[in-house]
Structure 1
Amino acid sequence: MSQQPQPKAPIIRSVSSITFSIGGENPFEKAIRLTVGWMQKLNPAIPTDATDAAAFDVGGGGDHPAKAVKIEHPERRIWSATIDNPDSNLLGRTWVTEITIAEQQGQVHFGTRLLNVTRNADDPYIPSIPGFIREIIKRLPCTADGVALSDLPTYINSSEDFDWFIKLLEHPHRRLPIVVMAEAVTRPPLINLESFSRRVCGAAHVIGISNNQTWRLTRLAGRDLTVFDGALRLYRPGFKLDDADQYAHPLWLSDQGRHGFWSAVPVINRVLSSGVSKGTTDYPRFEAVRQAAADFALKARRVNSSDAEMVRLYEEENIALRQEIESIRSEHNQWLADAEAERSASEAETSELKAENHRYRIQNEMLRRTLVREGSTLEREDLTDLSNFGEWASRNISPNIWFAPKALKSIERNNQYSRPEEIGEAIRLLDEVYAPMRREPDQQSYEEFTERSLNIGITISDCFSRSGDIQRFPEYSVTYHRERLWCDQHLKKGGGTDPRTMFRIYFCWNREKGVIVIGHLPTHLDNNMTN
Structure 2
Amino acid sequence: MLLPDAAFRGDSFELDASESMPVSAVRFDNYWALQFDKFDPSVPGRIWRTEATVASTDTKALGGVRLTLLDSISGFDFNPSVPAIVSAWVKNPGLREYGTQLSERPIQVDDLSALELMCELLLNNKRTRPVVVFSEGKGIDARANAARTAMRLAGLAHVFVLGDSQVDELIDSFGREFSVWGGAIRTYNAGFDPFSDEVSVHPIATREWLQHRFRSHDQFIEVLLRSFTALSLRRTSPDHDLPTVRTVKQASLSYQLAKLDKPVTDERSAILEQENSLLRQQIQEKTDEFNYADAEVTAAQVERDQYRAQAMAMRALVQRLEEQVGTSQAQPTYPPALDQVDAWALEQYPGRLVLLNRAARSAKKSPFSEPQLVYRCLDRLARQYVEARRTGSPVDALFEDLGVGLERTGDPNRLSQWKEKYFVPHRGTNRFLEWHLKRGSDHNEANTLRIYFFYDEDDEQVIIGHLPSHLTNSQT
State how 1:117-128 maps to structure 2 within 5 Å. 117-118=70-71, 123-128=76-81
Residue in structure 2 matching 1:289, options 244, 248, 253: 248
State how 1:230-309 maps to structure 2 within 5 Å. 230-246=183-199, 248-252=201-205, 253-256=209-212, 257-278=214-235, 279-282=237-240, 283-297=242-256, 302=260
Say if 1:190 and 1:230, in contact at 8 Å, map to a contact too: no
Correspondence 1:511 to 2:457: yes
State how 1:387-466 maps to structure 2 within 5 Å. 387-414=339-366, 416-442=367-393, 449-450=398-399, 453-454=400-401, 456-464=402-410, 466=411
Cα shift at 1:419: 4.2
Say if 1:186 and 1:229, in contact at 8 Å, map to a contact too: no
State how 1:121-520 maps to structure 2 within 5 Å. 123-185=76-138, 192-210=145-163, 213=166, 227=180, 229-246=182-199, 248-252=201-205, 253-256=209-212, 257-278=214-235, 279-282=237-240, 283-297=242-256, 302=260, 310-311=265-266, 313-314=267-268, 316-317=270-271, 320-321=274-275, 323-372=277-326, 378=330, 380-414=332-366, 416-442=367-393, 449-450=398-399, 453-454=400-401, 456-464=402-410, 466=411, 468-474=413-419, 475-493=421-439, 496-520=442-466
> TM-score scaled by structure 1?
0.76
Corresponding residue SS for 2:24 = strand
Deviates more, 1:172-181 or 1:476-485: 172-181
Say if 1:381 and 1:396, in contact at 8 Å, map to a contact too: no
Cα shift at 1:400: 1.2
Cα shift at 1:424: 1.9
Corresponding residue SS for 1:61 = helix
Cα shift at 1:341: 1.7
Q: How big is each residue's C-alpha offset from its partner over 1:415-437, in whole Å with a ceiling of 9 and x where there is no partner?
A: x4444333222221111211211
Name the amino acid aligned to 2:436.
H
Name the amino acid aligned to 1:293.
S
Cα shift at 1:47: 5.2
Rate the CA distance shift 1:228–1:334 in 2: closer, same or farther, 3 A: farther
CA distance in 2 between counterparts of 1:219 and 1:494 reads 34
Cα shift at 1:131: 0.6
Runs of 4+ displaced beyond 6 Å: 186-191
Name the amino acid aligned to 1:68.
A
Cα shift at 1:134: 1.7
Rate the CA distance shift 1:336–1:67 in 2: closer, same or farther, 3 A: closer
Aligned-residue RMSD, C-alpha: 3.6
CA distance in 1 between counterparts of 2:244 and 2:220 reads 33
CA distance in 1 between counterparts of 2:258 and 2:368 reads 78
Cα shift at 1:126: 1.0
Cα shift at 1:139: 2.0
Cα shift at 1:295: 4.5
Rate the CA distance shift 1:446–1:467 in 2: closer, same or farther, 3 A: closer
Q: How big is each residue's C-alpha offset from its partner over 1:142-197, in whole Å with a ceiling of 9 and x where there is no partner?
A: 22122121122334444443443333333333333333444445778699333332
Q: How big is each residue's C-alpha offset from its partner over 1:484-515, in whole Å with a ceiling of 9 and x where there is no partner?
A: 12223322345644444444322222333322
Name the amino acid aligned to 1:437.
A
Name the amino acid aligned to 1:69.
V
Rate the CA distance shift 1:400–1:473 in 2: closer, same or farther, 3 A: same
Correspondence 1:55 to 2:44: no
Of structures 1 and 2, the larger Rg is shown by 1
Rate the CA distance shift 1:129–1:320 in 2: closer, same or farther, 3 A: farther
Q: Structure 2: 5+ residue runs without aligned partners?
A: none
Say if 2:345 and 2:353, in contact at 8 Å, map to a contact too: no
Corresponding residue SS for 1:148 = strand
CA distance in 2 between counterparts of 1:186 and 1:371 reads 41
Corresponding residue SS for 1:208 = strand
Rate the CA distance shift 1:47–1:199 in 2: closer, same or farther, 3 A: farther
The answer to which structure, 1 or 2, has the higher relative contact order (CA under 8 A, 6+ apart) is 1
Q: For this pair of structures, how many residues does the alignment match?
A: 469
Q: Structure 1: 5+ residue runs without aligned partners?
A: 1-42
Rate the CA distance shift 1:277–1:410 in 2: closer, same or farther, 3 A: same
Correspondence 1:527 to 2:473: yes
Deviates more, 1:45-54 or 1:235-244: 45-54
Say if 2:238 and 2:244, in contact at 8 Å, map to a contact too: yes
Rate the CA distance shift 1:186–1:499 in 2: closer, same or farther, 3 A: farther
